A and B are shown apart, each in its own frame.
Chain A
Amino acid sequence: MNSNIHQITVGDLWNLLETVVDPEIPVLTILDMGIVRRIEIREGDRITVSEFEGRTNTGASVDPENAQILVYITPTYTGCPAMNMIAAHISMELATHGFSDISVREVLQPAWTTDWIPESARQKLREYGIAPPEQAARVERLLFSDVSVTCPRCESRNTEKLAEYGSTACKALYRCKDCLEPFDYFKCH
């Protein structure tokens, strides 16, 4: 290892995770989705915790050969079949960069919400042809009210819902009544 030349930091770990994409929506990284909640680095007695929110402790150094890396991820949906694949991709990405002791663990709390998807990622969704969530996720409002969804292709608001569930549980199927294209809508969750 050339760790004498370039000191590896927790910030580098986050940069590596930034390259792992969501298998269902490959334009978004798992950090865009807010799936990775925390990285924990254990080196002997020293434990460094870096939270996703605010990316804490990014300057701390990490020795790939001796550090035990724990990556905490949260599922978007409880039955999301992509979670195992995401965990495998995280392990592979870190392993190819010299880390040997890697564990990926699931946490449920706080429950994942589409509110965590930042505007930059929403723009990526639109460009990919998926309409991003239209409003904040509130269970009571979601129960029997319908949102007005903007077509990601022509930006018309003249759209209609075709099906409550689309290609995955997290999406509904819509159709634009102006450009006539069907499109996926990422539901508020």
Chain B
Amino acid sequence: MRDFLLLLADNTQILGHRLGEWCGHGPELEIDMAMTNLALDLIGQSRNYYQYAADLEGAGRTEDDLAYLRDAREFRNCLLVEQPNGDFAHTVARNFLFDSWHFFFLQALCQSNDDRLAAIAVKSVKEVTYHLRWSSEWVIRLGDGTEESHKRIQDAFDNLWTYRGELLAPAPYETEAANAGYGVDLHAISSRKCSTFSALTQTQSGNE
């Protein structure tokens, strides 16, 4: 359970901090505010997971100890979330790949047989719904925008595509979590995720 919690905590913390790097550097004021608000949600979610992990440990370590005082090798996050921001299109593509997984993952986690984990998921999925809305709309806008924006979002997906597989490949402790009923069966959410991808692709090609 501790490893599983740290995976969720590290994913949300690292992506939150990556997005926070945009603070004051966004291409527009509204986009800047959106990315820092996304960051705030993610850091808030990571706190819930770290607090739970710290409580489970019962060794006197706090959420901050777990978030900031572990060695880099102990972090469980997927490689996608730690990829550098790059340009705005690169950040949008990274967030879309993560959000479109995160949304379905949390929907499934709402059914966790662990009450505290389910409560965090129910809370988080409301926020992540808006994250997915935001990144989806920007993928479409950049793809349908100018030649330059289209090229940039395409380059970003070409660059990041390789990292998406890790999201659906369970680590041993994720399989254990799914079998014990407090985690998520990644194979089951894979098909629901695919249908969202194809719906979006159709929207894009329909507009061309």
In the complex, which residue of chain A has the Cβ closest to the Cβ of B47? A78
Taking a contact as CB atoms under 8 Å apart, the answer to whether B44 and A77 are in contact is yes
- From A81, A139, A165, B126 is in contact (CB under 8 Å) with A139
State whether the Cβ of A92 lies closer than 8 Å to any Cβ in chain B.
no
- From A108, A142, A162, A168, B129 is in contact (CB under 8 Å) with A142
State whether the Cβ of B34 lies closer than 8 Å to any Cβ in chain A.
yes
- Mask, A129-166, CB within 8 Å of B = 1, is 00000000101001110000000000000000011111
Taking a contact as CB atoms under 8 Å apart, the answer to whether A143 and B133 are in contact is yes
For B126, list chain A residues within 8 Å (CB): 111, 113, 137, 139, 189
State whether the Cβ of A120 lies closer than 8 Å to any Cβ in chain B.
no
Cα–Cα, bound, A187→B41 (Å): 15
Residue in A78, A110, A144, A169 with the greatest tally of chain B CB atoms within 10 Å = A78
For B176, list chain A residues within 8 Å (CB): none
Taking a contact as CB atoms under 8 Å apart, the answer to whether B42 and A111 are in contact is no
Interface positions of A from 106 to 120, Cβ below 8 Å from B = 108-113
- From A78, A109, A164, B45 is in contact (CB under 8 Å) with A78
State whether the Cβ of A85 lies closer than 8 Å to any Cβ in chain B.
no
Interface size class of A (residues with CB under 8 A): 20 to 34
Taking a contact as CB atoms under 8 Å apart, the answer to whether A78 and B37 are in contact is no
In the complex, which residue of chain A has the Cβ closest to the Cβ of B30? A163
Taking a contact as CB atoms under 8 Å apart, the answer to whether A164 and B130 are in contact is yes
For B125, list chain A residues within 8 Å (CB): 139
Cα–Cα, bound, A164→B132 (Å): 11
State whether the Cβ of A167 lies closer than 8 Å to any Cβ in chain B.
yes
Taking a contact as CB atoms under 8 Å apart, the answer to whether B133 and A173 are in contact is no
For B107, list chain A residues within 8 Å (CB): 139
- Mask, B10-52, CB within 8 Å of A = 1, is 0000000000000000000011011001101111110110000
Which of B75-83, B87-95, B116-124, B156-164 is near enough to bind chain A? B116-124
- From A80, A113, A166, A189, B33 is in contact (CB under 8 Å) with A166
For A109, list chain B residues within 8 Å (CB): 115, 119, 122
In the complex, which residue of chain B has the Cβ closest to the Cβ of A145? B133
For B48, list chain A residues within 8 Å (CB): 78, 108
Interface positions of B from 94 to 151, Cβ below 8 Å from A = 103, 107, 115-116, 119-120, 122-127, 129-130, 132-134, 136-137
Cα–Cα, bound, A75→B38 (Å): 16
Taking a contact as CB atoms under 8 Å apart, the answer to whether A108 and B120 are in contact is yes
Taking a contact as CB atoms under 8 Å apart, the answer to whether B33 and A163 are in contact is yes
Cα–Cα, bound, A144→B130 (Å): 9
Interface positions of B from 49 to 76, Cβ below 8 Å from A = none
8 A-B pairs within 8 Å (CB atoms) are namely A78-B41, A78-B45, A111-B123, A113-B126, A143-B129, A144-B133, A165-B130, A169-B130
Query: B interface vs A, CB < 8 Å?
Result: 30-31, 33-34, 37-38, 40-45, 47-48, 103, 107, 115-116, 119-120, 122-127, 129-130, 132-134, 136-137
Query: A interface vs B, CB < 8 Å?
Result: 75, 77-81, 108-113, 137, 139, 142-144, 162-169, 173, 187, 189
